[in-house]
A and B are shown apart, each in its own frame.
Chain A
Amino acid sequence: MLLLISLGCDDTDFLTEEPQSFYTTDNIFTSGAQLDQVLISIYQQVRNFSKNDLLMGKGTDFFDAPDFRLSTNFSDYTRINARNGEINEIFRYYYSNIKNANTVLDPANLQGEFDSEASKNYIIAQARFFRAYSHGMLAELFGGVPIVTELSQEPRFDFVRATRAETYQFAIDELEAILDDLPETNPQGGRIVKACAQHFLSEFYLALGTETSNDEDFDQAISYASDVIDSSPYALMTQRFGVRVNGENTVTGGADVYWDLFRNGNTNYSDGNTESIWALQFDYDAYLNGDGSNVKHFPGDYAPVYRFLTGFTGTGADAGGRGVAYNAPTPLTEDIIWEESISAGDQRNAEHNISRIVYYNDPNYPALLGTQIPQDILDMDYQGRIFPIYYKVNTDIYEGLQNGENRTNIWTDTYAIRLAETILLRAEAYYRKGNSQMAANDINLIRSRAQCDILATAGDIDIDYILDERARELYLEERRWNTLLRMGGTVATDRIKTYSLHPDIVLSTLSFDFNLWPIPQEAIDRNKDVVLEQNPGWN
């Protein structure tokens, strides 16, 4: 009897898996709201990777791990190759963004309900923006890569590399297609707006022109940059503004508009900052509320270890926080670009922006206490522990101390696009097109704002000048590897050989001039049905 009951049950039904406490692709995409949530995931990934020190320029002419952390440096070309894990991580990151964007754009997923046609179009436009952006970034760093426009339903092993120009062109076509679906500004600060697409159109046209030597591309680069610079709500900030408009740096004294640009609460367009086109969002309360990735360890990672000096103790604001110096500036970003001959009057090098003066503070050394640490002491060899405090990535007022935070972290938003960079893109496009005067004019927009005594002339302008100006304006802000690698030729390796923090290591290990990173071996190996060519010189 029981046997019969048992046999009578429906076996198929009994064995069917129906998840009860989580979602699958079969049941989640019911409306536009869920697709917008996919965009949230992309926004978060972009924010989290904005902290990636390799993307920020580790190993370039910007910064590197100091001597006492040599095992983590990015100058040793016996370690930098197709099997490098950090490069692989970045490669994967962009394809993960592409996958998420393709999830939004999957026709099946777009079947659900949307609030309006306009909201649907904006969701699609953001997804296409991120897909274009990721392909463009890959093209800058790795050259031509497989262009992926569909969400995988099952594994494929036969991806084919497009050329670098094709990859740029794909990104350009996509961005041009969505311009009308993006708003000029968005009260929900941090969302993609039209100027984001225009900025990257300028950048990718510039990159494409550099790759193909086609002047028309430079024209396009100039045109799209001009759309942002001249006929959009965006404009350089020239007056002090924001939450500390009347305040000064509490450690060094002094303040200016450049300092204001990097203060917490000043970084969004909605904060009254018309220079901010796209800011990646950080917020201490959000961190407390459970967004654990919403934090930057910059006062730790990019600040010096003054407490290493006899007579100096503690990890207070006077030391730039609890610095552990994972990264230290190169001679270029610490000194060379700030030489008096070029930077006289430059606010960007003012003590309140780059602090080079420190005072003894250990009560156990009463004779020293309160006196300035002499330059010859600071110049001694501490294996890279001692260097200036860059207030761009640091602060004088730390959040969370009342809750036990220890001056390692900061929650100020990061610029993904600041108008100053758009202007420098246009300057470069003008220069590449042969119009040095227009280039100098653009650069002087930046230098005038910084109150520089010395302005650029048409005769000054060359690629190195542009790269130096970018370093002055965009240190720890731009994606330096992208900038160097998209220049082509030997620009990247020339700069690295000249300005690396570890030039001897670079010279003894760098055996060829590269202008593309290696395609990760893993990406090549896994694509078993089609051979993907490695970039020249890497193996």
Chain B
Amino acid sequence: MDTKLTWGYLSKIKTPLSFTTKIFIFFFSLLTFGMNSDKKGAIISKGNSEIIVKKIVQQSISGKITDINGAPLPGATIIEKGTSNGTQSDFNGDFSLNIADGNATLIVSYIAFITQEVVVNNQQNVTIVLLENTEALDEVVIVGYGTARRQDISGSVSTLKLEDSPVALAPNSNILQSLQGTVAGVNVGVQTSPGTNPDILIRGQNSINGSNDPLIVLDGIIFQGDLTNINSDDIASLDVLKDASAAAVYGSRAANGVIVITSKKGKTDTPTISFSSSIGVNTWQNKPQLMDYDRWTEKYIAQRVGVDSPEDIIFNDITATRLYEQAYTTDWIDLISRQGLTQNQQVAVSGKTKGTNYYFSGGYIENEGVIVGDDFSRISVRSKLDTQITDWLDVGLDGTYNNNDYAGVVADISRAYQLPPWAYPYRWETMPENPSSNTGTLLERWPIGQSIPNPLWGTDGTIEDVDKRNFFRLATYALVKVPMVDGLTYRFNYTLNSNFNIRERFTYESFYISEQTEEPFIDRYSDSEIARGLSSANGYNQRTNTRNYVMDNILNYKKQFGDHYIDATLVATRDYQYNKTLTATGSNFALNGNTLLGVDGIQFAETQTNDIYIVERSNIGYVGRLMYTYKNKYHLTATARRDGASVFGNKTKWGNFSSIGGAWTITEENFLNDSKILNSLKLKASYGTNGNQGVSPYQTLATVQNGANGGHVYEFADAPSTLLYGVAQSSLGNKILGWEKTTAFNGGFQSAWFNNRVFLDLDFYFSKTTDQIFNRQIPIFTGFNSILSSLGQVDNKGIEISLRTVNVDTKNLKWSSGVSFWQNRNKVVSLYGDDLDEDGKEDDDISNNLFIGKPLGAIYGYDYIGVVQEDDIEYIENTGAAPGDAMYRDISGPDGVPDGIISADFDRKILGYRPENFRMNFSNTLEFKDFTFYVLLTGVFGGGKDNYYLSNNPLKNTIDNRAEFNTVDHDWWTPENASEKYLSPTFDDNRYLGLQSRGFVRIQDVSLSYKLPQDVIKGIGISSLEIYTSIKNLHVFTDWYGGGDPELGRRALEGSIPVPSTYLMGLKARL
């Protein structure tokens, strides 16, 4: 607060001042003077106020601050150089300032613009045009409950700009996908099914059993919803708050980091109408190659004793035998997959007029996954309005409505792996004879006669499926600039989210076609036979209502006092979630005799049940934060927070969290001020504690199971079909369950070199998460299995390096690159504190793969060292293995030395770890005239001395060897072809894991766009038009075996939805 400004403000008041007003002003001046550290202000204490007023009105300058387009910049800071005298521009960009003399220099700064110095040169009125900082978003950082200047940040924050960036051209329907591989320290998994959220992990796994999801903040307010409901096309930028200091302000749930999403807003005076439209296909690349008819036969023969030729193959089931003999081949993987169409249509209108900023958008996304029936579409509408009502009050309103449609029955992928190639998908008159004569495409439920249903069964209308999710969001705020205290604002946020989800499913009697037992088999599809299934027909109507609100009260004081800059924030926040799920189920329509009304007729079912489930959850937080900067060189941030959460035990609901961070901008020091090589260098460090809620609502209560859905039901002989429901206590309560706490240290630097052509950032961190919430197993004698307890500790450490370079910067050609490297290591420090084997060291928890001193995600088992060959006589004798089996290392024995026998007690060890060793990315943006080319390579690397990033591959084939399943086509060991890699086809042993590195490098995003030249489009009334093509997941370089995607890392037979590759064409236009 500056005294002169106070007087300046008062001098505008035209009406004569009353005596009491004068008194008030006098005291107020004194008061504000007390806070003034400026030396000139000291005059006040000596002289009387009249003199001062005279001095101040000596010279005044007024003017306007605009951007290059002439748009006013409200809130720009204007300071007389070498003094603390300054002001801010008003909403129209206008300012006026009293200055010492006409030779003064003004320093004009504005967030995201380059700071300018302007010599007044006796002008009375100036228009100052600020140039946008090309690294604009680096300048302002979202810090939670407000923004901060990047230079003041002592924590670790990464920013990803999306608006007008080639990154946004990628087909990312979920906002998290744009973080996949792009930001150091952030691991985002693959998205397989449209409309779902990929996994995300920031700086490693902290919590063993609790959530490791980061907190999501949208436009400054905690977002308690499904990220699918955030329209990627509305997003301007993402900030990831990674360390304790940055995240501290969200302390209660910030232990896993915070992702702050900032949406687009209006920018220009004239309305901008923008269209974008894209269309493309999803395809399944690297489909696994399954065995065809001949290979299948070959393997089947090899697996079975006494079966030496195809003629010997006789199945238990006669239908199977007959079908097999006819040698028809079906490619089941082809049958359940497709080229899925994807389209995205968006329109937005935005702009700003006097006092108002508006952004309206509407969009439609349709996305077909690569598996039949995996469909998603979304209609989204948004309107966002920010208005300045008076010069002290701003209000805003942001409304969103989304309609997501997930309806559809998805083909069963694992069935497609299980069915042998000779199974036939359709039904026909003479089945199982002569399938090739069939011309129809009506599905057969049991393609081999029995046991394994058709993977497409249910997608053919025998199941009706509705899955609509409506989402409403209303975010409002009021921002009050507290009168007469310059820099003090009060902000009130209130956000309401609401979901209304409609889930309906009905399985018709036509679904329940019996197996092929009595000929003629086609009769099973006759009306009378289908009617037998009426007793099995069933369906449910489910309605889920969710509403939640977040209410923030934020008091903020920002002020520059000469060399000192203070930014203080006080927050009181609370939020509340309410979820009610209502399910009405009906089954058995035998008495009703039909299911004509489908899911809307479950009230005619013989058995009807209703289920209501309500979940409430609430949180309270009180926060104080102080940021202090001296001479733009030394920065300090301190935060304290007290949090309460409903999910914890009665005695442990509250937790206290605090953090402190400091930074030193070395390049502001005189000795580095003029360095030509080093443009900026900031060192930073932070330390603090954040919390994690490792439990879900009601988990601390002693619950009972009862009623129709309690699972306990019995009948007595006097009324044998009357269900009597039982009661059973299902868990022990725990009243003292509390917060998981993560304490972290972060250090690092940010730097710019060679005339801002090279930017190098480095962060390293150490964290420890204590009071881990475990489901602790308790003695069986209690009758309960486990109880949630706070125990144990996990440490994480890691390093993140980002390098950005502008390689070429000429008029026609601009080339910039980015490389990031990040590595995280974690370690289980302690678990339950037990030492049962009394060796003086805490015991591992082998059954849950938790080892003291080792990372999470350990794979513990027998060390596979190759294939047993016929001449391994000793091994065969000792272990009973057969040639072609897996051979394991004989690590030790009862006497501490290898004993020749492979046993669980002495021959297991940690084979490796599921998390990766490190990740890297490499991005390039090439602009040539009107063309922009962007390519992003991401890589996840395994290996290392501890063998990271391992997973089971399709060579682990125990199930497929036992059953008559199909499997990925690979060789097998035979006495004649004694392979060193492949095992015998009859090998069946769960000790063999088939571990392989999942390491890969992916060409994740490629896009090429072309902006049509102005002279071409001017004539047709378009201000800009860009056409582009974009490919996601173009190619993966990997040794991963057996098809599928290494990042997903699942074996084919597990039946997970594959990772698609997307090819897209689109255009963006602005009117």
Q: Enumerate chain B residues within 8 angstroms of A21, measured Cβ to Cβ.
A: 580, 612-614
A28-51 at interface with B (beta carbon < 8 Å): 28, 34, 37-44, 47
A134-169 interface bits toward B, Cβ cutoff 8 Å, 1 = contact, 0 = none? 000000000001101001111111010000000000
Whether the pair B647, A17 counts as a contact (CB closer than 8 A) is: yes
Asked, given contacts A3-B490, A286-B723, whether A155 binds B778 with beta carbons under 8 Å apart, the answer is yes
B528-555 at interface with A (beta carbon < 8 Å): 532-536, 551, 553, 555
Whether the pair B515, A291 counts as a contact (CB closer than 8 A) is: no
- Residue of B574, B702, B725, B780 ringed by the most chain A CB atoms within 10 A: B780
Does any Cβ of A come within 8 Å of B706's Cβ?
yes
Chain A residue nearest to B552 in the complex (CB): A6
**B714 contact from A34, A43, A268, Cβ within 8 A:** A43
Does any Cβ of B come within 8 Å of A98's Cβ?
yes
Q: Enumerate chain B residues within 8 angstroms of A362, measured Cβ to Cβ.
A: 318
Query: How far does the Cβ of B902 sit from chain A's closest Cβ, in whole Å?
Result: 12
Whether the pair A159, B725 counts as a contact (CB closer than 8 A) is: no
**B729 contact from A2, A99, A293, A413, Cβ within 8 A:** A99
Whether the pair B492, A154 counts as a contact (CB closer than 8 A) is: no
Does any Cβ of A come within 8 Å of B782's Cβ?
yes
Whether the pair B729, A103 counts as a contact (CB closer than 8 A) is: yes
Whether the pair A6, B783 counts as a contact (CB closer than 8 A) is: no
Does any Cβ of B come within 8 Å of A444's Cβ?
no
Bound CA–CA A15/B515 (angstroms): 55
Q: Enumerate chain B residues within 8 angstroms of A310, measured Cβ to Cβ.
A: 314
Q: Enumerate chain A residues within 8 angstroms of B1034, measured Cβ to Cβ.
A: none
Q: Enumerate chain A residues within 8 angstroms of B706, measured Cβ to Cβ.
A: 23, 28, 34, 37
Does any Cβ of A come within 8 Å of B236's Cβ?
no
Does any Cβ of B come within 8 Å of A534's Cβ?
no
Query: How far does the Cβ of A97 sit from chain B's closest Cβ, in whole Å?
Result: 8
Bound CA–CA A151/B646 (angstroms): 27
Whether the pair A103, B514 counts as a contact (CB closer than 8 A) is: no
Whether the pair A38, B726 counts as a contact (CB closer than 8 A) is: yes
Whether the pair A526, B778 counts as a contact (CB closer than 8 A) is: yes
Whether the pair A99, B704 counts as a contact (CB closer than 8 A) is: no
Query: How far does the Cβ of B214 sit from chain A's closest Cβ, in whole Å?
Result: 23
Query: How far does the Cβ of A539 sit from chain B's closest Cβ, in whole Å?
Result: 10
Asked, given contacts A22-B703, A294-B715, whether A15 binds B572 with beta carbons under 8 Å apart, the answer is no
Whether the pair B698, A157 counts as a contact (CB closer than 8 A) is: no
Query: How far does the Cβ of B777 sit from chain A's closest Cβ, in whole Å?
Result: 5
Does any Cβ of A come within 8 Å of B708's Cβ?
yes
Q: Enumerate chain B residues within 8 angstroms of A145, measured Cβ to Cβ.
A: 781
Interface residues of A, dominant DSSP: loop
Chain B residue nearest to A407 in the complex (CB): B517
Asked, given contacts A21-B614, A34-B727, A40-B724, whether A189 binds B780 with beta carbons under 8 Å apart, the answer is no
Bound CA–CA A91/B778 (angstroms): 14
Whether the pair B609, A307 counts as a contact (CB closer than 8 A) is: no
Does any Cβ of A come within 8 Å of B645's Cβ?
yes
Query: How far does the Cβ of B111 sit from chain A's closest Cβ, in whole Å?
Result: 26
- Residue of A19, A23, A153, A525 ringed by the most chain B CB atoms within 10 A: A23
Chain A residue nearest to B573 in the complex (CB): A6
Whether the pair A3, B318 counts as a contact (CB closer than 8 A) is: no
Q: Enumerate chain A residues within 8 angstroms of B781, measured Cβ to Cβ.
A: 95, 145-146, 148, 156, 159, 523, 527
Does any Cβ of A come within 8 Å of B134's Cβ?
no
Does any Cβ of B come within 8 Å of A9's Cβ?
yes
Does any Cβ of A come within 8 Å of B810's Cβ?
no
Q: Mark the stretch among A220-228, A398-406, A414-422 that contacts chain B.
A: A398-406
Bound CA–CA A323/B127 (angstroms): 93
Whether the pair A3, B607 counts as a contact (CB closer than 8 A) is: no
Does any Cβ of B come within 8 Å of A314's Cβ?
yes
Does any Cβ of A come within 8 Å of B616's Cβ?
yes
Chain B residue nearest to A38 in the complex (CB): B727
Bound CA–CA A7/B572 (angstroms): 8
Q: Enumerate chain A residues within 8 angstroms of B20, measured Cβ to Cβ.
A: none
- Residue of B517, B647, B650, B779 ringed by the most chain A CB atoms within 10 A: B779
Query: How far does the Cβ of A205 sit from chain B's closest Cβ, in whole Å?
Result: 25
Q: Enumerate chain B residues within 8 angstroms of A99, measured Cβ to Cβ.
A: 729, 782-784
Bound CA–CA A146/B780 (angstroms): 10
Q: Enumerate chain B residues within 8 angstroms of A315, measured Cβ to Cβ.
A: 517
Bound CA–CA A187/B781 (angstroms): 34
Whether the pair A314, B517 counts as a contact (CB closer than 8 A) is: yes
Q: Enumerate chain A residues within 8 angstroms of B962, measured Cβ to Cβ.
A: 71
Chain B residue nearest to A189 in the complex (CB): B717
Does any Cβ of B come within 8 Å of A300's Cβ?
no
Whether the pair B701, A286 counts as a contact (CB closer than 8 A) is: no
Does any Cβ of A come within 8 Å of B757's Cβ?
no
Whether the pair A285, B721 counts as a contact (CB closer than 8 A) is: yes
Whether the pair B533, A404 counts as a contact (CB closer than 8 A) is: yes
Does any Cβ of A come within 8 Å of B389's Cβ?
no
Chain A residue nearest to B615 in the complex (CB): A21
**A25 contact from B314, B704, B722, Cβ within 8 A:** B704
On chain A, the number of residues with a Cβ less than 8 Å from chain B's Cβ atoms is 92
Query: How far does the Cβ of B848 sit from chain A's closest Cβ, in whole Å?
Result: 13
Does any Cβ of A come within 8 Å of B1021's Cβ?
no
A185-208 interface bits toward B, Cβ cutoff 8 Å, 1 = contact, 0 = none? 001111100000000000000000
Query: How far does the Cβ of A483 sit from chain B's closest Cβ, in whole Å?
Result: 24
Bound CA–CA A281/B650 (angstroms): 43
Bound CA–CA A522/B646 (angstroms): 34
Bound CA–CA A283/B721 (angstroms): 6
Whether the pair A28, B727 counts as a contact (CB closer than 8 A) is: yes
Whether the pair B574, A152 counts as a contact (CB closer than 8 A) is: no
Bound CA–CA A290/B538 (angstroms): 12
Does any Cβ of B come within 8 Å of A173's Cβ?
no
Bound CA–CA A2/B479 (angstroms): 12
Whether the pair B834, A528 counts as a contact (CB closer than 8 A) is: yes
Whether the pair B784, A152 counts as a contact (CB closer than 8 A) is: yes
Q: Enumerate chain A residues within 8 angstroms of B514, measured Cβ to Cβ.
A: 404, 406
Whether the pair A290, B316 counts as a contact (CB closer than 8 A) is: no
Whether the pair A155, B779 counts as a contact (CB closer than 8 A) is: yes
Q: Enumerate chain A residues within 8 angstroms of B574, measured Cβ to Cβ.
A: 6, 9, 14
Whether the pair B717, A37 counts as a contact (CB closer than 8 A) is: no
Chain B residue nearest to A291 in the complex (CB): B713
Q: Enumerate chain B residues within 8 angstroms of A527, measured Cβ to Cβ.
A: 779, 781
Q: Enumerate chain B residues within 8 angstroms of A281, measured Cβ to Cβ.
A: 714-717, 720
**A155 contact from B553, B712, B787, Cβ within 8 A:** B787
Whether the pair A14, B512 counts as a contact (CB closer than 8 A) is: no
Does any Cβ of B come within 8 Å of A279's Cβ?
yes
Does any Cβ of A come within 8 Å of B51's Cβ?
no
Bound CA–CA A528/B728 (angstroms): 26
Bound CA–CA A154/B735 (angstroms): 10
Does any Cβ of B come within 8 Å of A210's Cβ?
no
Does any Cβ of A come within 8 Å of B1016's Cβ?
no
Whether the pair A156, B782 counts as a contact (CB closer than 8 A) is: yes
A83-125 interface bits toward B, Cβ cutoff 8 Å, 1 = contact, 0 = none? 0000000011001101110110000000000000000000000
- Residue of A17, A37, A316 ringed by the most chain B CB atoms within 10 A: A17
Does any Cβ of B come within 8 Å of A26's Cβ?
yes
Chain A residue nearest to B317 in the complex (CB): A307
Bound CA–CA A520/B779 (angstroms): 11
Does any Cβ of B come within 8 Å of A410's Cβ?
no
Query: How far does the Cβ of A166 sit from chain B's closest Cβ, in whole Å?
Result: 15
Does any Cβ of B come within 8 Å of A289's Cβ?
yes
Does any Cβ of A come within 8 Å of B809's Cβ?
no
**B535 contact from A15, A157, A288, A406, Cβ within 8 A:** A288
B761-794 at interface with A (beta carbon < 8 Å): 776-785, 787
Chain B residue nearest to A402 in the complex (CB): B532
Asked, given contacts A25-B702, A37-B706, whether A6 binds B784 with beta carbons under 8 Å apart, the answer is no
Asked, given contacts A21-B614, A307-B316, whether A189 binds B718 with beta carbons under 8 Å apart, the answer is yes
Does any Cβ of A come within 8 Å of B507's Cβ?
no
Other A-B pairs, 8, CB within 8 Å; known A38-B726, A40-B727: A25-B704, A25-B729, A44-B712, A157-B779, A283-B715, A307-B318, A404-B512, A413-B717
Q: Identify 11 residue pairs between A and B in the complex whose beta-carbon atoms are under 8 Å apart, listed by A's number.
A: A15-B618, A17-B697, A22-B613, A22-B703, A25-B702, A44-B714, A154-B732, A154-B787, A191-B716, A290-B587, A523-B781
List 8 tightest A-B contacts by C-beta distance, closest first.
A99-B783, A189-B717, A41-B726, A285-B721, A40-B726, A403-B535, A41-B712, A37-B727
